Amino acid sequence: MPSFRHQPVVPHRIFLAVALVAALFLPIRHALGAGTPAVVHPSLWPQTHWPFASDAKLEARVQALLHKMTVEEKVGQIIQADIGSVTPDDVRTYHLGAVLAGGNSKPGGRRTADPAQWQAAADAFYHASMDTRDGGMAIPVLFGVDAVHGDNDTLGATLFPQNSALGAMRDPALVRAIAAATAEEVRATGINWAFAPTLAVPQDDRWGRTYEGYSENPALVAQYATAAIEGLQGRPGTPAFLDSSHVVASAKHFLGDGGTLNGKDQGDNPDDEAALIRIHAAGYTKAIDAGVQTVMASFSSWRGTKMTGNKALLTDVLKQHMHFGGFVVGDWNAHGQVPGCSNEDCPQAINAGLDMFMAPDSWRGLYQHTLAEVKSGVIPIARLDDAVARILRVKFRLGLFRQGAPSTQPLARRAAEVVGSKAHRELARRAVRESLVLLKNRNHLLPIDPRKRILVAGAGADNISKQNGGWTINWQGTGLTNADFPGATSIWAGIRAQVDAAGGSAQLSPDGSYTQKPDVAIVVFGEDPYAEFQGDLPNLAFHPGDDRDLDLLRRLHRQGVPVVAVFLSGRPLWVNREINAADAFVAAWLPGSEGEGVADVLLRTRHGRIDHDFHGKLAYSWPRTALRTPLDMGPPDYHPQFPYGYGLTYADDGDLAPLPEAAGVALDSARAGIYLMRGRPAPGFTLQLQGASGTATPVTATPAASADGSLRIAAIDDKAQEDARELTWTGGSAAATLASAAPLNLDRQANGDMLLVATLRIDALSAQGSSIGVRCGRGCSAELPIGSQLAKLPRGQWLKLGIPLKCFRAAGADMTQLDQPFTWRSSAGERIAITSASLGMVADRTLACPAQ
């Protein structure tokens, strides 16, 4: 078994010495309190080597351009707009320096886009930026995308395992190869800038972006930083650097996003300066040494100061002391969070050291305000010129001024051979094999003989979206089917192919039912896709209040079927009960598009050999309880269920004593977004019937009725005995509500695409219409009329019905204090059955926001 003490991956003497000096002179972690501003000491930060010597020819070209540019053109260069809110004509008129395609933005407003459609969009923006008919300068535009696990915005692209999986490989060479393959596929679509790699060092797995980080270990993140950046950009000083097969990389998010208090996305990092250096800056020193061309400033704060407005760190440390010579770009309207700023006006960010605003939908107003502030002197012209010069240097290094239109580039001309190529898919499949971590293997159940009768069950078995997670095709990675992944392989499909080839029998049964008893069952389950703050958790319990996966494991076990659990997740979660219920347990992370890599390891060959043993070791400590957060190496009380570096092989004794099944905390369904489950209110909620008279009657048993009898409720069966509730309206306007014991703050969730989802069956509708709503305290509510949309839905069929939370905000609800997060109002003639109500990202039917 490996040693589990924290050992640096590579020697890092200078870096560690700097951190030691900082530790001697600065207060320990959290000593000042999260809200106390901290003073930055640049001399304590590590020195780096920017790998580009002074280039007189390059500087002459930059200065010549600057001298010719108008102030309007200069301001345009420091603004990046999203393709969903900007046109090529806008780029031509405002001389914008860059565009991006956010997670939900596709050319022409499409749902998905193929390489040819991306190329056409890239060409249009390029030609607009080079159009000099208005007398302006021809300065080619940069085009950026979040290519965080492959070219994940493109239909048919190779999708690699997410970063938390790559950390388990301990294979920098493979990370370099993955980054190089990603660069090739991105470049083949006409794009030249990847917002990657993420160099966060997550210290609290409740954070919704944990899977974007390689590890909780800063030394491993530092090692991977070099590999990823050299893979994306090529190695400085070689002919391959930023050639036509590589892209501009972006080290993100500077700085400390992985250490926010309670793992809150976009929150505040309370660490002292020593911890900021030792933990969170580790990857950036190596990124600068590798010549990373852009650094993305974080949404988050350090000790109360928003990073996008932190001059001490952006300018004094990053640019001056660490000698970063590229440019600093903001995150999605992150400048609007700087005190005194808005999305359309923020001179503070530029004066702090930001070089390019990421202003997806706010760019026009931001341009006007920034132009006025330069002319008035609020933004010094010297600061503007420095920002523009940094951007131009990157464009010259990339060769944009001589390469021509994106579609004419070598890889773009053979995009069909490059995007999703066999070589890239084989590389991704290898990464899947290397990233799997075996946590348990009772009686050496694994590897499985493929000649046996194998049942493959669980919601993740034949679900390519689920095995990819967020940042896949769209921002949240939701609303997708297997048809949206041409060329990809689900875990089930990979198992079936190998079992069929060996002469065995494989059956897919998501609910675990079968007619002939299998020799073994493989149950694939885990987290649903999410991204950013929509994945933030109150604790590390897996699906609190929803035991369907656990019930499936236990049912198969009771039936005498040996069970292999394959757990899909972006992070370690408390799954002690599921581990106990399985004979073998595999942490498969989010493996991407090549699901057959899982079969490669779980199954023997048709001749009984083991071709691929387990290789992965935990890059994140696995929690002992749901409350054990944060959980990272180093503190004296470090006591995980499975420590950093744990991972069994087939040669190891895989038996485990039963794990404790006490979560260590009440499984807080309310904070987890579960309000009604299996027909019963979740803990902390009360189901109430409010009759036409306005009197609310709590439902303590069924059947029941409102005080005036206008609304009745009864228990009925859906999948189990009395696991649903039937509501029948017989009088005037009446409502069924779920009331929370404490107000809920769903403000951040309402910023994105999160839904209020109800699993229900419509049997009859009232002619007077229906509404769904929320209440935000006395005198504060929002009810949305949905009768016309419900009328188009089938009768007598169970479905998941969703409505965006932002609809309630638009209707006037204060989403920071919801005391009734679910209300269904109707009148005589309506009859529906409901089994669950919760927050989610996936629905069978999503209603549109009704016109106000």
Cβ count within 10 A of residue 444: 14
> Torsion angle, CA of 87/88/94/97, rounded to 10 degrees?
110
398 token code pair:
């990339």
Separation CA 625–CA 811 (nearest Å): 40
Helix 172-188 vs helix 218-233: angle between axes, to the nearest 10 degrees? 40
CA distance 726 to 146: 45
**Mind telling me the catalytic residues?**
331, 532
Question: Concatenated DSSP letters for 331-384?
Answer: -TTGGGGSTT-BTTB-HHHHHHT--BEE-TTTHHHHHHHHHHHHHHTSS-HHHH
750-777: buried (b, 16+ CB within 10 Å) or exposed (e) per residue? bebbbbbbbbbbbeebbeebbbbbbbbe
What tokens appear for 718 in the block? 């859906």
Cα(126)–Cα(143) distance, integer angstroms: 9
Bridge partners of 437, per DSSP, are: 587
Residue with tokens 């060996």: 502
Which helix (H) or strand (E) segment holds residue 822: the answer is strand 820-826
Sheet holding 250-254, edge to edge: 250-254, 294-297, 327-329
C-beta neighbour count of 115 within 10 angstroms: 25
What pairs with residue 642 in β-bridges?
A: 622
CA separation for the pair 80, 392 (Å, rounded): 14
Rounded Cα gap, residues 262 and 269, in angstroms: 9
Cα separation of 32 and 460, whole Å? 45
d(CA 401, CA 460): 47
Phi/psi of residue 268, nearest 5 degrees: -110, 130
Give the Cα separation of 160 and 151 in Å (integer).
9
d(CA 487, CA 483): 9
Instruction: Give the span between the Cα atoms of 515 and 506, in whole angstroms.
Output: 13
Residue closest to 308 by CA, chosen among 339, 269, 271: 339
- Give the helix/strand (H/E) hosting 629: none
171-194 burial by CB neighbour count: b if 16+ within 10 A, else e? bbebbbbbbbbbbbbbbbbbbbbb
* Beta-carbon contacts of residue 24 (< 8 Å; ≥ 6 apart): none
- Please list the residues that pair with 358 across neighbouring strands: 80
